[in-house]
Amino acid sequence: MAYWYNVDNSKVEQDGETDPKANLLGPFETEDEARNALEHAAEQTAAWDKSDKEWNDD
């Protein structure tokens, strides 16, 4: 079973229970991973920004 983080209502949802029009992050293997989706996204964005800066500086 996959879990999703619904950005519209800030709730974790399971496959089959999601609103097809919702803004979702995922899928995640666990409910806990989905609950931390925004934190994970921020970490990934920071890592990509750093990588882009290093690429552009070379």
Residue type, 2: A
Q: How many folded domains does the chain comprise?
A: 1
Per the structure, the complete domain to which residue 49 belongs is given by 3-57
The 10s digit of each residue's pLDDT in 25-55 is 999 999 999 999 999 999 999 999 999 988 9
> How does pLDDT run across 19-33, given as a tens digit for each residue?
888 899 999 999 999
Instruction: Indicate the burial class of 21 (C-beta count within 10 angstroms; 0-12, 13-18, 19 or more).
Output: exposed
